Amino acid sequence: MVSIVNCSRSRGQTRTGLSNFENVDEIADSKKYDLPGYAVLNTSKGNITIELFKDGSPEIVDKFLDLCQKGHFKGMPFHHVIKNYVILGGHSQDSGGIEDWTSKRKFHRQLPTSPKHEAFMLGTTKIKEDSKAFQLFITTAPIPDSNDKLYMFGRVIKGVDVVQEIEEVDTDTHYRPKSPVGIINVILQQVI
């Protein structure tokens, strides 16, 4: 049974909708546990189940959940597929920051990695506050030099084979898939 739940996190608001700023932390803590813990990305190659890091990246998870509810990822293409590195998706054509860190991938392979930067992690690029863009990526190898450019907010727990199948698509010299591949929709779940 799949349930889509209310993912908004309204700080300082009681059940009646009135503000109660004395209990903001209590409300935020209680709502953190009401948020979905998993996202199932239904892609053109199959399903990928992501465990979300609600505690480690709460603001990014909130934004991701909000965008899921608004249908932002429905029909989102993977616009760059770099074998043994990363799969990138998004609607924005502003990819300057992405080009910067993807072009440097070959020079930093020898750096140590933390668990945060393992393969099969879900993340987004660090973008300007006023930007409406939300790039989404799944790593297919450790990316140790990404702290200043990327937020990791989840990990693939099911569907690694699907990620690997996407990684195998033919691309042009700029890593753009020659045939369309992307996210059909996202289903949010409390439990798996």
**What domains, with CATH codes, occur in the chain?**
31-189 (2.40.100.10)
pTM of the model: 0.73
Structure-model confidence comparison of residues 7 and 38, the more confident one: 38
Structure-model confidence comparison of residues 104 and 44, the more confident one: 44
**Tokens for 94?**
């502003």
Give DSSP secondary structure letters for 141-182: S--TT-TTTEEEEEEEEE-HHHHHHHHTS-B-TTS-BSS--B
Q: What is the mean pLDDT of the chain?
A: 76
**Tokens for 50?**
């992501």
- CA neighbor of 89 nearest in space, from 101, 72, 103: 72
Q: What pLDDT sits at residue 143?
A: 83
pLDDT of 10 strictly over 50: no
Structure-model confidence comparison of residues 77 and 130, the more confident one: 77
Give DSSP secondary structure letters for 42-96: EETTEEEEEEE-TTTSHHHHHHHHHHHHTTTTTT-BEEEEETTTEEEE-S----H
Half-sphere exposure of 158 (CA within 13 A, CB side): 10
